[in-house]
Structures are given as C-alpha cells and as structure tokens.
C-alpha cells in the first residue's frame, strides 16, 4: 500500500463502507427485479468506484475482487449474461469479503486476498460467458480491461479524498460522464461548492466530548434551579431562566448533530434476510419503513445486534416454508417488515412478520420442560407473559441446534441489551397470522427524562418512558392474589412492588403515600413509594462496580440538590 496520508485512506474507508452497505440492499432488490437498469448501473458503479479507490491505494486483493465482479455486471448490463441466483450469491459473497477487508484495513492490519473459492467462482462465471458469446462480439467493458481508472475518474477521486467535494455517497459512486459535464451551464454553481460551505466532517469523539460537557451543564442548570427556590431574588431568577433556555437549546442542537438515520442499521437487513432465507429454503420479502427516522449515533450502533437477532428469529421461527404457506392459503413469499418512527422523546421500532405466530401453551410447556418456570407459575401466566418466555436465558423451541438458532442464546441478549439502552420490547402474536415485536428506546443515551421519587429520605429516578400515572396509595386498597399483593385498578389487577421493602429498608418507619404505575413490555406494575419529588432530566452515570449488574438498577446520576440518586430499571423491579 502507498504511504499516502492517513486522511486519504480514512476517507476512502468511510466512502467504501457506505457503498458496500448499499450494495447488499441493491443486489437484493436487483435480484427481485432484474429489469431495473438503474439499480443494475448502481451496482456496477459501486464495485467500479471501490476498485478505483483501492487501485489508488495499492490494495491489490480488493482491486482483483472488484474487477471480476464489476466485469460480470458490465456483461449483465450489455445483455451478454442473464441474472440468476448463483451470480447474485457470488456478488453477495463479494460484499461480505469487501466488508471483511475494510474492517481489516480500519484495524490497521494487512488485507488478505479474497477466498480462492470466490475468485474461482467469478472467473468460472466470466469464462462461461466468454465461451458462449457469439464470435466477433466484444463482451469485456472498455473500462475494465485494466485495473487503472480513467484520468477524469482519477482527478474526481483525488478531489474527494482531499476533501474538495462533499463527503456523500453520491459523490463517490456516481461520477458523471464527460458529456454530462459539458452540458452543464458554465455559470451554474457547482453542487460541491454549496456542500463545502454547509458541511464539515468531525471526529465523533469530539462530539462525545461536547455532549458530555453539555451533560455537566445540564447538571449545573438543575442545581441552580433548585437553589432558586430557596433564594428569593428577581434578578437571579431572570438570569437562571435565561440560562435554562440557552442550555435547553444547546442540548437540543448538540443532540441533533449526533443524530443519524436508522437506515444505517436497516440497510444491512435485505442482504441478511436473503442469506438466511436461502439457507432455510424460504422465500422472504423484506419491507423497510421510516428509514429516515433519526436517533443518537450510539443507539444506531447499539441497536444493530438486537435487530439482527429479531430478524433471524422471524425468518427461522416465524415465516413458514413456501409449500406450507401455500397449503395455508398464504403467498409463497413471506413478508418481514421493519418500521421506525419517533414518538415524543422515544423511538418505536417494530419487527413484524406474517408467519406462523406463537402458541403460548407450547411456549409454557417448553419452558417447564427446560426448567425455566415451574408448573404453578405456568398456570398463572397470561398469553402476553408467555410470549416473554422467549427472552429467558437458555430457552429455545428448537429440538436440534442449527447455525441459525436452537442453542438457547440470542433472544435473551435482545432483552438485556435493550435494557442497557434504557429500552424495552413487547410482543404481539396471533397463531397462524404472525408476530410483532415492538421496541421502544430513548432518542439519546446521554440525557434521560426521569420522575424523581423518594423512599426513606433518599431520591431515586424512574425513566419517564415507563411511567403511566401516579396514584394516592392506601393500605386498604391492597388485595391478594396467590399470596402476592396486588392493586385493583379499572378492572385490571396490578402486582405491587414496595420499593422500601425491595431496598431492604425498615418497614416500621416512614409512610408510603403514592403508587407509580409503570409499564415494562406489555406488563403494568405498581411501585409503592413515599413521595414524588418531580420530573428532572438527568445525566446517566455508570454504577459503582460493587452494585453493577444488580437487577432493578440501571445507573446513577447527580440531581438538582447535589445528591446522588440511583436510576431504577423498571423491568428488573417488575420481575422482583
């Protein structure tokens, strides 16, 4: 590899990773609609652009792979080759290899060539086309006789790598031909000129530092607002009010800078769905909705693994094989939908399928068989609670483990990972009609709206996303069901958690005056507390190592009066 400046290689990495992420989806869509010439050209240009950048950086293995696949798609464009499943398998395999190579490059390690099996497959496919082409016909693209790129493309690539154009995917993947450049009005302002003035690439670590400082500013603001209630001074009051407004605006704008579209996660699922469906001999159409919904960049990255598990689970356990679907009067091709939308200060993500659905009786029986629950617990469980069993560690409905599922790992990771993110997941399922997983996560991990409550003179924070309502609590309202204290509310029986008892505090002192109704998944619980202290936005801090990992605790924070408050995990409390 040339000893080029690091920023050039870094820029290439960013652009190439974006192209590869798009290629997976483009290939899936092209396989479904082979006559989509625009998509076909986009795939060709994607491999061609990566090849050009790799050639400039002397990444021989990457150049060799892209050259072969690019040539296949050029012949497909010219009608010398017909698209078929094996060809798309080769192309998807190439994107996997490119992903591996780019990850290796990012880690600073030397890039290993693509697997010989894949390269041989591409060469065989090209050889088959050459042997069947009519004599005299040229089947090789004029620009692919060499690994070198044209002068125009080389100049455009240099401009992009040195920052003379906007760092967008469009700029690197679609260099317009000379004829188009000539047709542009000479007086028109180049699009890149606007982009230079309105955008800049910033290291995400700097954004994290700024966000942490804003978090500290929020804590200072909260402290001043707390002091204002004790100091009666009109000028001080106005100054703190002005600071409050500015801090809120700054917090909002910094959060917007950190926002990324969830399409960065969603874009990988068409390829994943295709690969899993092919392995299981199933037919699946994946539909993406709300890809432009934005949330904190850290959440975008953290949601990837839970969603991968849910998508694989939906295809493996949910969607039936084509023959079974036909017998049931369903289309041969199953439908898997990923949707995202903003709801207040939270994001809702749904993963739904039109497959077999889940049988709550079967889930309870399997859970008993594996020792996850006992017979008495199983008898009391509602269908909604039964669906939650799939998140239990070690639980699986598969009798034989496969590469995809059946080992009792995966779904438990989904729930625990979402809990770490301050989110929750609920399930709706109808036997024979499909299942729907609903994920609810905050827009940002840095600052959390909470309800401050007090028990034994100390403050605790409940995430506002889980809080439904606050009621006056009276001892005479307590009822008992199977030996457990419950509250009857509008025809609903709510289990009660006495926070004073849960914390191991003296039950004979103090008085519990309120019950906070919270929701975790589809389950509602009443948390009995001494009093409510109000709503406050808090900055989440990690727990001390001595209590980290304890069920019911999600983190810690400094509140307005300067004291430490534990942030409670509602799902952990509800299962207490």
**What gap in Å lies between CA 492 and CA 468, rounded to an integer?**
14
Q: 269: domain CATH number?
A: 3.30.565.10
**What gap in Å lies between CA 24 and CA 17, rounded to an integer?**
11
> Domain for residue 211, yes or no?
yes
If one counts the domains in the chain, the total is 4
**Pair 164, 253 in one domain:** no
Domain limit, last residue, from 174, 198, 222: 198
Q: 560: domain CATH number?
A: 2.40.50.180
> Domain for residue 270, yes or no?
yes
**Pair 424, 459 in one domain:** no
Q: 189 or 112: whose pLDDT is higher?
A: 112
Quick check: helix, strand or coil at residue 186? Answer: coil
> Domain for residue 70, yes or no?
yes
**What gap in Å lies between CA 243 and CA 225, rounded to an integer?**
10
Site of tokens 């001892």: 475
Kindly tell me if the per-residue pLDDT of 463 is higher than 50: yes
- In terms of average pLDDT, the best of 157-171, 267-281, 381-395, 470-484 is 267-281
pLDDT digits (tens, 9 = 90+) for 8-33: 788 888 888 889 988 988 898 898 88
**Pair 362, 433 in one domain:** yes
Q: Give the model's confidence band at 2: pLDDT under 50 very low, under 70 low, under 90 confident, else very high.
A: very low
> Domain for residue 332, yes or no?
yes
Q: 110 or 195: whose pLDDT is higher?
A: 110
Contacts of residue 297, defined as CB under 8 A and 6 or more positions apart, other chains included, come to: 204, 207, 258, 259, 260
Q: Which residues of 369-390 are buried (b: 16+ CB within 10 A; e: fewer)?
A: eeebbeeeebeebebebbbbbb
Contacts of residue 320, defined as CB under 8 A and 6 or more positions apart, other chains included, come to: 282, 328, 330, 334, 355, 356
| 351, 338 contact by CB (below 8 A) | yes
Quick check: helix, strand or coil at residue 401? Answer: coil
pTM above the 0.85 mark? no
Q: Give the model's confidence band at 522: pLDDT under 50 very low, under 70 low, under 90 confident, else very high.
A: low
Dmax (CA) of the chain:
98
Range of the domain at 141: 6-198
Q: Under the phi-then-psi rule, with left for phi > 0, alpha for psi from -120 to 50, and beta for the rest, what region is 466?
A: alpha
**Pair 490, 413 in one domain:** no
Domain limit, last residue, from 172, 198, 224: 198
Nearest in space to 191 (alpha carbons), one of 223, 214, 159: 159
> Domain for residue 453, yes or no?
yes
**What gap in Å lies between CA 565 and CA 559, rounded to an integer?**
7
**100 exposed, middle or buried (CB, 10 Å; 0-12, 13-18, 19+)?**
middle
**Pair 14, 74 in one domain:** yes
**Pair 239, 334 in one domain:** no
Q: Where is 448: in which H helix or E strand?
A: strand 447-455
High-pLDDT (> 90) share of the chain, % = 21
Kindly tell me if the per-residue pLDDT of 110 is higher than 60: yes
> Domain for residue 1, yes or no?
no
Quick check: helix, strand or coil at residue 146? Answer: coil
**Pair 455, 413 in one domain:** no
Q: What single-letter DSSP state applies at residue 316?
A: I
Q: What is the mean pLDDT of residues 180-188?
A: 36
| 23, 95 contact by CB (below 8 A) | yes
**Pair 365, 432 in one domain:** yes
Report the range of poorest mean pLDDT among 195-209, 337-351, 352-366, 417-431.
Answer: 195-209
Contacts of residue 565, defined as CB under 8 A and 6 or more positions apart, other chains included, come to: 452, 458, 459, 460, 461, 538, 556, 557, 558, 559
CB 548: neighbour CB atoms within 10 A? 10
**Pair 321, 218 in one domain:** no
**Pair 43, 149 in one domain:** yes
Nearest in space to 302 (alpha carbons), one of 417, 198, 138: 417
How far from the centroid of its chain's Cα atoms is residue 11's Cα? 24
**Pair 485, 382 in one domain:** no
Strand 467-472 vs strand 514-520: parallel, antiparallel, or unpaired?
A: antiparallel
Q: Under the phi-then-psi rule, with left for phi > 0, alpha for psi from -120 to 50, and beta for the rest, what region is 432?
A: left
Q: 3 or 39: whose pLDDT is higher?
A: 39
pLDDT digits (tens, 9 = 90+) for 304-328: 889 999 999 999 999 999 999 999 9
Kindly tell me the sign of the dihedral angle through the C-alpha atoms of 121, 124, 125, 126.
Answer: positive
Q: 231: domain CATH number?
A: 1.10.287
Domain limit, last residue, from 147, 178, 198: 198
Q: What is the mean pLDDT of residues 169-192?
A: 36
Kindly tell me if the per-residue pLDDT of 270 is higher than 70: yes
Q: What is the dihedral of CA 327, 330, 335, 340, to 10 degrees?
A: -130
pLDDT digits (tens, 9 = 90+) for 208-224: 788 888 888 888 888 88
CA angle 210, 215, 220 (to 5 degrees): 125
Q: Give the model's confidence band at 65: pLDDT under 50 very low, under 70 low, under 90 confident, else very high.
A: very high
Q: Where is 417: in which H helix or E strand?
A: helix 411-420
**What gap in Å lies between CA 465 and CA 423, rounded to an integer?**
9
pLDDT digits (tens, 9 = 90+) for 115-132: 899 998 888 888 776 555
> Domain for residue 360, yes or no?
yes
Kindly tell me if the per-residue pLDDT of 153 is higher than 80: no
**Pair 110, 247 in one domain:** no
> Domain for residue 146, yes or no?
yes
**What gap in Å lies between CA 296 and CA 264, rounded to an integer?**
12
Kindly tell me if the per-residue pLDDT of 563 is higher than 60: yes
């Amino acid at each position: 590899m040339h000893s080029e400046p690091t920023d050039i290689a870094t820029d290439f990495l960013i652009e190439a990773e974006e192209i590869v992420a798009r290629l997976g989806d483009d290939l899936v869509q092209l396989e479904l609609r082979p006559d989509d010439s625009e998509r076909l050209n986009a795939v060709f240009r994607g491999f061609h652009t990566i090849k050009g950048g790799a050639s400039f950086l002397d990444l021989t293995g990457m150049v060799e792979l892209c050259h072969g696949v690019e040539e296949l798609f050029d012949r497909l464009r010219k009608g010398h080759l017909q698209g078929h499943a094996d060809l798309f398998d080769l192309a998807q395999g190439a994107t996997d290899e490119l992903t591996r190579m780019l990850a290796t490059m990012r880690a600073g390690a030397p890039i290993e060539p693509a697997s010989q099996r894949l390269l041989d497959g591409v060469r065989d496919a090209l050889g088959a086309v050459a042997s069947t082409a009519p004599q005299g016909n040229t089947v090789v693209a004029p620009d692919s006789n060499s690994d070198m790129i044209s002068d125009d493309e080389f100049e455009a690539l240099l401009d992009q790598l040195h920052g003379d154009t906007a760092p967008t995917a469009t700029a690197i993947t679609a260099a317009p031909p000379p004829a188009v450049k000539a047709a542009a009005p000479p007086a028109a302002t180049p699009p890149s000129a606007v982009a230079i003035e309105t955008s800049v690439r910033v290291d995400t670590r700097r954004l994290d530092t700024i966000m942490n400082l804003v978090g500290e500013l929020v804590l200072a603001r909260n402290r001043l607002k707390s002091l204002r209630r004790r100091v009666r001074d009109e000028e001080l009051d106005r100054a703190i009010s002005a600071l409050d407004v500015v801090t809120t605006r700054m917090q909002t704008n910094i959060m917007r800078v950190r926002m990324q579209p969830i399409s960065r996660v969603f874009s990988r699922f068409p390829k994943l769905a295709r690969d899993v469906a092919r392995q299981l001999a199933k037919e699946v159409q994946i539909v993406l909705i709300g890809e432009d919904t934005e949330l904190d960049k850290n959440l975008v990255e953290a949601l990837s693994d839970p969603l991968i598990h849910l998508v694989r689970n939906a295809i493996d356990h949910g969607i039936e094989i084509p023959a079974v679907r036909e017998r049931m009067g369903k289309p041969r091709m199953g439908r898997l939908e990923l949707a995202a939308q903003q709801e207040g200060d939270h994001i809702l993500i749904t993963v739904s399928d039109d497959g077999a659905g889940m049988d709550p009786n079967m889930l309870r029986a399997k859970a008993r068989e594996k020792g996850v629950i006992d017979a008495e617990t199983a008898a009391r469980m509602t269908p909604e609670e039964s669906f939650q069993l799939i998140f239990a560690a070690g639980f699986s409905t598969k009798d034989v483990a496969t590469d995809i599922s059946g080992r009792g790992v995966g779904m438990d990771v989904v729930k625990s990972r979402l809990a770490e993110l301050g989110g929750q997941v609920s399930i709706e399922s109808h036997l024979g009609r499909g299942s729907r997983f609903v994920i609810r996560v905050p827009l940002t991990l840095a600052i959390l709206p909470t309800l401050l409550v007090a028990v034994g003179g100390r403050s605790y924070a409940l995430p506002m996303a889980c809080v439904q309502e606050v009621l006056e609590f009276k001892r005479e309202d307590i009822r008992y069901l199977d030996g457990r204290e419950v509250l009857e509310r509008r025809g609903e029986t709510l289990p009660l958690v006495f926070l004073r008892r849960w914390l191991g505090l003296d039950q004979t002192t103090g008085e519990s005056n309120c019950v906070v109704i919270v929701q975790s998944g589809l389950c509602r619980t009443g948390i009995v507390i001494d009093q409510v202290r109000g709503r406050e936005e808090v900055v989440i801090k990690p727990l001390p190592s001595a209590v980290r990992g304890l069920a019911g605790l999600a983190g810690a924070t400094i509140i307005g009066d300067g004291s430490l408050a534990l942030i409670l995990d509602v799902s952990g409390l509800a299962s207490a």
